[in-house]
Structure 1
Amino acid sequence: MMLEHVQAQTHHARRGALRHAFTYGVDYVLSDLGDAAPWLISRNRFNLWSIWDRHHGGPRGDGRGVGWFREVLLRRGFAQEGAQLLLLTQPSFLWFHFNPVSFWIAMVDGRPRAFVAEVNNTFGHRHCYFCAHEDFGPIAKGDRLVSEKMMHVSPFQSVNGQYHFDFGIDETEIDIRISYKNGDQGVVATLSGSRRPASSRSLLWAALRRPLGALRVLGLIHFEAVILFAKRAPFLKRQPAPELLISDSQNFVSADK
């Protein structure tokens, strides 16, 4: 099992007249979803940290793991021979799971050729954004892959506008930037950190340094929402779930369309 521990930072900054920004440390793992792993993390089995197929790949709570990603790539004509399929995600901590965004990544010769941003909101909804160049050429840092926003994520932002994905990953670093643009409004979100082999020591340190994992993440989301509410940011009621589970970026034309 290829399993790396990315001790990362995430930064969010609101665009528009009402300014708000925050930066937090987060723990991600990058995995090919094999079976062997350090003893403090398991796949499809309870542990201090766990990666569960049911949480990823497909409808929320009814995922099929990497098999779903393989089908997504197959339907779009991606040649998987020689490709490494990876999941970048925040693992579950004990019984707790919540992940605002995970990434399914298809790598060839150490470079990403396609990815799916698996986005979850706090209302129980999910939408997946498939991103690739039309010829499945390498995705380089600085490339802009554009997707229409399809799902209500924050009660302080509408379901309009576009996501601009700048997806940077190499042999040593992850540097992802997502810019949500809706006129002069929006949010810039980043995820950056060094790739290091996961070990029981690093995973234990993560549990002590940033305790409660997913529960901590959920608490921080609501904490920042309280601050925005106090700043009198416009608040939108809960919106319907998106009709589709997955949509393609504007840079890519699906073969099944």
Structure 2
Amino acid sequence: MHRRVSSPKYRFTYRIFSLLLDIDELPRLRHRLRCFSHNRFNLLSVRDRDHGPRDGTPLRPWIERELSQFGIELAGGRVMLLCMPRILGYAFNPLSIWYCWHADGRLRALVCEVKNTFGEQHCYLLHDGGRPMPWPVRARRAKQFHVSPLISMHGHYRFYFAAPDARLNIVIRETEHHRPFLTATQRGRGAPLSDRELLGCVTHMPLLAIKVITMIHWQAFKIWLRGARYHRKPQPPGEAMSAEDNYAPTGTSHAEQRTERP
């Protein structure tokens, strides 16, 4: 669900399906799934070049290298990627989430991998200086990356993540000049990864990737017709991942902000 609370106000909802994948298990999934492949064509697939460095190299070394630059070590802990798969070779993921656990089983970081329709990508790292992060995770980040010509770069994000168990619950709120601007949510139920479940998803949403990219442009066009202001696209940030938050509303402490409910 996307709800624009600033003028022009607008709201839309559409269904998608995503896969929550252990990146170390990706090469082995072909042994138990017929309709899913890793780095190969199939009805459904995920390719390393779709995420992380986007050069086709293995994902585990990349995420460990990026996290280590911020003093975060996983010691071989589990890393899971929430993303939409390719369907017959095509996919577009506006947002993919990396869940990064330490070997002790406790969460150390979340990475929000954001793509725009210009082929660019930027990652927002949510962490607590390498310390364990309790659920639900709440964090704030200054906007660094252009995602829409109808939204300025003078924004800040508030993230809310529940543990990805039987239910998925992600809430992202964007503010402009300390005022609410937009709320985006992704909610759903989990199911075991099987050919039956995957085929059911494709049967109900066979054109998922085309639907996502089409809806982005169609909804943007309708918002523009309602009078939304157009913003020129800036250059993308120089760094692939940002972790700093330079946002502190007047009179509000960090502790107070972390108690915000979704």
- For the superposition of Structure 1 and Structure 2, which TM-score range results when normalised by the shorter chain? 0.7 to 0.9
Q: Please report how far the alpha carbon of residue 152 of structure 1 lies from its aligned counterpart in structure 2 after TM superposition.
A: 0.7
After TM superposition, the score normalised by the length of structure 2 is 0.84
Aligned to 2:67: 73
Q: Equivalences for 1:131-210 in 2 at 5 Å?
A: 131-141=126-136, 143-183=137-177, 184=179, 186-210=181-205
Residue among 3, 15, 20 paired with 2:10: 20
Compare 72-81 and 206-215 and name the one that shifted more.
72-81
Residue among 204, 211, 220 paired with 2:215: 220
| Root-mean-square deviation over aligned CA pairs | 2.0
SS in 2 for 1:113: strand
Structure with more strand by fraction: 1
Q: Please report how far the alpha carbon of residue 187 of structure 1 lies from its aligned counterpart in structure 2 after TM superposition.
A: 1.3
Question: Are 1:113 and 2:102 counterparts?
Answer: no
Query: Is this contact kept in 2: 1:55–1:63, CA < 8 A?
Result: no
SS in 1 for 2:234: coil
Aligned length: 239
Relative contact order, CA 8 A, sep 6+: which one is greater?
1
After TM superposition, the score normalised by the length of structure 1 is 0.86
Q: Which runs of 5+ in 2 are unaligned?
A: 247-262
SS in 1 for 2:42: coil
Aligned to 1:128: 123
Name the larger-Rg structure. Answer: 2
Question: Are 1:87 and 2:77 counterparts?
Answer: no
Residue among 72, 94, 97 paired with 1:100: 94
Paired residue type of 1:176: I
Q: Which runs of 5+ in 1 are unaligned?
A: 1-10, 252-257
For residues 33-60 of structure 1, what are the alpha-carbon distances to aligned partners after superposition, in whole Å with 9 as ceiling and x for unaligned? 22232211111111111110011112x5
The 1:78/1:244 distance shift into structure 2, 3 A limit, reads closer
SS in 1 for 2:160: strand
Query: Is this contact kept in 1: 2:71–2:130, CA < 8 A?
Result: no
SS in 2 for 1:36: helix
Q: Please report how far the alpha carbon of residue 207 of structure 1 lies from its aligned counterpart in structure 2 after TM superposition.
A: 1.3
SS in 1 for 2:75: coil
Q: Please report how far the alpha carbon of residue 81 of structure 1 lies from its aligned counterpart in structure 2 after TM superposition.
A: 2.6
Paired residue type of 1:181: T
